[in-house]
Amino acid sequence: MNGSVRENTEWLKQLALREGASLFGVADLGPIHDRFFLSDREVSGMGFGVSMAVALAPPVLKGIEDRPTLLYKWHYQQANNLLDKMAFLLSGQIAARGHQALPIPASQIVDWEAHKGHLSHRAVAEAAGLGWRGRNNLTVNEIFGSAIRLVTVLTDLPLSPNSPVKFQCSSCDVCVKTCPAEALGMNSADYRIDRCHQKLTAFSKERGIGVHICGACVKACLYRNSPESAG
């Protein structure tokens, strides 16, 4: 049975929070449909994107200097595993109510040349009000900064979408100065994916890493690493 839009949204939010989500939001997919690498058959009729995030642990980030650590790699992977589990579970619960739901993997590349997944989790998260696009080209949340991992569930379950939030990085450019690839600028549009990916490829070849990660700009974000939280 279905409840009202408000009831549906609150039910799904509480389910996500119980399963470990740090953040939850709903996006209207209409304005960002062009950010998908999915067929019309797969997304037919689904106009809402449920965006969920899990926060990364500050002590793990503190160990990062100019390259990823083994602890960060493990933490990153466990966050993705948790997100995938949440998305899978929520999709099943939505289906049990007689609606369509499509869980999108938290970290799966489908276009290696463009380094893109099935859709932009960041675009969905920003449309769902979880944060804004920072100078590091990542979603920045007002509480957790960029120290979040994201996942998305597409659905036709009637939900109440959130509104995007405005850019709040002000004049902060710490991530720009910190980037070991020198891939960032004062606008997210200045992001140099070629430089970033080249550096990630180099990091992936270091002993024990094996995946394309960095974490330097995530640590640098002052919303997470303010003087009070730096310890």
What tens digit of pLDDT does each residue of 174-220 get?
999 999 999 999 999 999 999 999 999 999 999 999 999 999 999 99
Boundaries of domain holding 221: 174-230
Q: Does the residue 10 lie in any domain? A: yes
Are residues 183 and 115 in contact, defined by beta-carbon separation less than 8 angstroms? no
CA atoms of 218 and 136, how far apart (whole Å): 8
Mark whether 29 and 128 lie in a shared domain: yes
Mark whether 86 and 122 lie in a shared domain: yes
Mark whether 132 and 217 lie in a shared domain: no
Mark whether 181 and 149 lie in a shared domain: no
What is the pLDDT averaged over residues 113-119? 77
CA atoms of 120 and 34, how far apart (whole Å): 10
Q: Give the pLDDT of residue 48.
A: 97
What is the pLDDT averaged over residues 91-99? 97
- Give the pLDDT band of residue 121 (cuts 50, 70, 90): very high
Q: Give the pLDDT of residue 226.
A: 45
Mark whether 144 and 180 lie in a shared domain: no
Are residues 93 and 155 in contact, defined by beta-carbon separation less than 8 angstroms? no
End-of-domain residue from the set 88, 123, 155: 155
200-213, pLDDT tens digit by residue? 999 999 999 999 99
Mark whether 132 and 184 lie in a shared domain: no
Angle at alpha carbon of residue 106, lines to 162 and 170, rounded to 5°:
50
Q: Does the residue 218 lie in any domain? A: yes
How many distinct structural domains can be found in the chain? 2
How many C-beta atoms lie closer than 10 Å to residue 183's C-beta?
A: 22
* CB neighbour list of residue 92: distance below 8 Å, 6 or more residues apart: 101
Q: Does the residue 169 lie in any domain? A: no
Mark whether 150 and 178 lie in a shared domain: no
25-74, pLDDT tens digit by residue? 999 998 887 777 777 788 889 999 999 999 999 999 999 999 999 999 99
Mark whether 132 and 37 lie in a shared domain: yes
- DSSP E strand boundaries for 42-185: 48-55, 101-104, 132-133, 139-140, 148-155
Mark whether 224 and 121 lie in a shared domain: no
Mark whether 192 and 93 lie in a shared domain: no
Percent above pLDDT 90 for the chain: 81
Mark whether 217 and 146 lie in a shared domain: no
Scored b (16 or more CB within 10 A) or e, 111-138 reads: eeeeeebbbbbbbbbbbbbbbbbbbbbb
Mark whether 141 and 214 lie in a shared domain: no
Q: Does the residue 52 lie in any domain? A: yes
Q: Does the residue 146 lie in any domain? A: yes
